Chains A and B, each alone.
Chain A
Amino acid sequence: QSALTQPASVSGSPGQSITISCTGTSSDVGGYNYVSWYQQHPGKAPELMIYEVSNRPSGVSYRFSGSKSGNTASLTITGLQAEDEADYYCASHTGANTLSFGGGTKLTVL
């Protein structure tokens, strides 16, 4: 299975908004509303931020939101804060009943 495609890096200033894209195919992202996003700080395990395209788990800030159009899903972070600086990964359920991850995006808060 091929990894989902994410930009290697994005950046933004405190208070700004950024969007990270995650592109797959009709066999994964485009075929199901089962896309998730994870935040990972250095040396830590990933943390679930968004599931089923746009749902936030309890405790995750409202500043994080998700959406999908066709074969591309997106994670948007509004009101950037220094603590948001981390790696972000998307993942999708696939038609083969597997889980496919994106390559990861490094977010830098300037």
Chain B
Amino acid sequence: QVQLQESGPGLVRPSETLSLSCTVSGGSLSSEYWHWIRQPPGKGLEWIGFIYYSGSANYNPSLKSRVTMSVDASRNQFSLKLNSVTAADTAVYYCARRGGPGYVDLWGRGTLVTVSS
């Protein structure tokens, strides 16, 4: 069965770039949309954006100026970069698979990223 696993630094300095990858195992990136979603400690879910396996992407307007997503089909991975981070970007970051318009049917376990000096 398909599984998702996030990876990347757990601590990022303010003003630097947060970089995370998500590895898809047991399946292929092809013909799917892949999401990034985050959850600040004790708060709700926030959609960051999605990327299609071909590389086309759509981002949350509130984060669009700072977000870049990419796909590496050779490694069966997709990635998130969020630049100019502040403490407000501290959150558990989830990668996920789109099941269809308006829903996610598979989630990674999430990885906590803390922004602090």
Contact = CB atoms under 8 A, between A and B. Distances in A.
A96 B61 contact: yes
A53 to B, nearest CB: 9
B69 to A, nearest CB: 13
Given A36-B103, A52-B100, A45 B108 contact: yes
B104 interface: yes
Interface stretch (B14-22, B24-32, B40-48, B77-85): B40-48
B3 to A, nearest CB: 12
A104 B45 contact: yes
Interface string B39-64: 00000111101100000001111100
A51 B58 contact: no
Interface residues of A, number: 27
Of the four ranges (under 10, 10 to 19, 20 to 34, 35 or more), the interface on chain B belongs to 20 to 34
A32 B102 contact: yes
A34 B102 contact: yes
**Most chain B Cβ neighbours within 10 Å, of A96, A101, A103:** A101
Contact of B105 (A57, A96, A104): A57
B20 to A, nearest CB: 15
Interface of A: 1, 3, 32, 34-36, 38, 45-48, 51-52, 57, 89, 91-93, 96-104
Interface of B: 35, 37, 44-47, 49-50, 58-62, 94, 99-105, 107-110
